[in-house]
Amino acid sequence: MTDALIASMRRAVEAAPDDVVLRLHLAELLVGAGKGDDAVTHLGVVLAADPGNGKAHSLMTRAVGGAPDHQDFDWQAAENDLRA
């Protein structure tokens, strides 16, 4: 189902390339499907049109593999490091 949805969203973006909301949704689907490299291009277009778009920034971070897993983050160790 996800591949069909992504294909449909790609066609929608091709038909309306200036629609930032469509591109953002497509990028979100691509990131969720593990296709971050494909999402980067769409997120670049979104951020060029709306540089302050927080959702696009967050997705871009995830797309390039830079999002830390906060569940495994050792906050106590980080606090101790900052204290030093």
78 found inside a domain? no
The pLDDT assigned to 70 comes to: 57
pLDDT digits (tens, 9 = 90+) for 19-58: 999 999 999 999 999 999 999 999 999 999 999 999 999 9
pLDDT digits (tens, 9 = 90+) for 2-30: 899 999 999 999 999 999 999 999 999 99
The residue range of the domain holding 10 is: 2-67
What is the value of pTM for the model shown? 0.76
55 found inside a domain? yes
Closest CA to 61 of 23, 33, 11, 27: 27
The enclosing domain of 40 has a CATH number of 1.25.40.10
34 found inside a domain? yes
19 found inside a domain? yes
% of the chain at pLDDT higher than 90: 74
Instruction: Give the integer Cα–Cα distance in Å for 43 and 36.
Output: 10
32 found inside a domain? yes
